Amino acid sequence: MFEVRWHGRGGQGAVTAAELSVYAAIEEGKYAQAFPSFGPERRGAPVVAFSRFSDKPILIRSDIYNPDMIIVLDPTLFKNVNVMEGLKANGIAVVNTSKPAEDIIKRYNFPGNIKLGVVNATRIAMDILRMPIVNTAMLGSFVKATGIVKLETIINVVKRRFRGAAGEKNAEAVRRAYNETVFVGGDG
């Protein structure tokens, strides 16, 4: 089983991204589940979503405390949320940032055994969508980091979720982030 914890802020689409990643996995014949962790959050407040992927039925129905991967949609969350908490040794972290990976490693004291991916998903979203909603861009980074689903499968799922021109633009954000995500450390 592969477990992912998505960290974002209300309105950034972390919950939707977790759901879309699961829909793509199910479409490819895998078992998967996604769910949010909500409190009295409002737009801009920290939000956590979870997704699990497996080749076998998933019987667990709890939050994810020791993820294989974390995806951080907003790097300002590092200031007040321990996004690294419980990340497995040799895990994967993908961060939306305009900074190079080396700066993120130093600033947030990333262990050397973590594979860190960085992508400027905010710039991608602003260029393509004209708004800072980074969830679909981060899906491209998720696919590149894990290979759990094929890029074309996630693009098809995104196009079905966001119809017409919005679907095409979000698909472009997925592709561009997939191509622009850079990894350091770990195995990568």
We report the CATH number of the domain holding residue 21 as: 3.40.920.10
What is the reported pLDDT for 163?
Answer: 92
Alpha carbons 176 and 46: distance in angstroms, whole number: 26
Alpha carbons 23 and 89: distance in angstroms, whole number: 27
Alpha carbons 142 and 93: distance in angstroms, whole number: 10
Measured between alpha carbons, how far apart are the two ends of the chain, in Å?
Answer: 21
Q: What share of the chain is helix, strand, coil (3-state, %, to 5)?
A: 40, 20, 40
What is the reported pLDDT for 10?
Answer: 87
Alpha carbons 150 and 30: distance in angstroms, whole number: 12
Q: In the chain, what percentage of residues exceed pLDDT 70? A: 96
**Number of domains forming the structure of the chain:** 1
Asked whether 174 and 180 are in contact (CB, 8 A), the reply is no
Structural domain containing residue 156: 2-184
Asked whether 121 and 127 are in contact (CB, 8 A), the reply is no
What is the reported pLDDT for 153?
Answer: 99
* Three-state DSSP state, 132: coil
What is the reported pLDDT for 188?
Answer: 45
Task: Give the predicted TM-score (pTM) of the model.
Answer: 0.94
Print pLDDT tens along the chain (188 aa): 999 999 999 888 999 999 999 999 999 999 999 998 866 556 678 899 999 999 999 999 899 999 999 999 999 999 989 999 999 999 999 999 999 999 999 998 888 889 999 999 999 999 999 999 999 999 999 999 999 999 999 999 999 999 999 999 999 999 999 999 999 987 54
What is the reported pLDDT for 38?
Answer: 66
Q: Which two tokens stand for residue 177?
A: 């982030």
Residue type, position 55, single letter: D
